Amino acid sequence: MSLAKVNSRAELIARRDEIKRLEHVGDELTHRIFEELNLSFITPFDREDIYELAKGIDDVLDLMDHVADLLLLYQIDKIESDVALLLNVVNRAIDEIHQSVRLLRQMNYESIREHIVRVHEMENEGDRLYRLFMGKLFAEQKDAIQLLKYNSLFNEMEHTIDKCEDLMNSIESIMLKNA
């Protein structure tokens, strides 16, 4: 579900609506995980780790939902290349997270390690792009409203990438404790 290839307001609304639907599904799953956690005597790994993992996934979903809302709120109907590049980093990181979570049952650190490394690399790439785009924005953008919109959008996307890395750190912690 990529926002990076949106070319019209109608397309953006449809993608945002799907992201919002998925965010609500994520909220329901998070609440169900917390309820089950409270009822379970034995868990596959530490309760605190399950909580951190579920909360981390929820945070990433919430931030993606927020980014999609900002695109509509700021009336950015066509995704500029700078925004698309950062969104692409976010999407790739989320794909790596998804693969990692699916591999958690195996409790094999080596099977997840490459995903962890890739997300760390993506976070570095995101930081580099963020600094580049922020420098370009403040050097070139003369319209104060546009500057504020894109400043906010870049900040939220960079924060989302940081949260992806935090989530992978939680997964790595689980693996190191239980491998």
The answer to whether 19 touches 1, Cβ cutoff 8 Å, is yes
CB atoms within 10 A of CB 102: 11
Which pLDDT value is given to residue 172?
93
Which pLDDT value is given to residue 131?
97
Is the pLDDT at 155 greater than 70? The verdict is yes
What structural domains does the chain harbor?
9-178 (1.20.58.220)
Which pLDDT value is given to residue 107?
83
Q: 15: which DSSP letter?
A: H
Which pLDDT value is given to residue 39?
81
Coil, strand or helix at 45: coil
Is the pLDDT at 171 greater than 90? The verdict is yes
64-83 tens-digit pLDDT:
999 999 999 999 878 888 99
Please, which residues have CB within 8 angstroms of residue 106's CB and are 6 or more apart in sequence?
none
pTM: 0.89
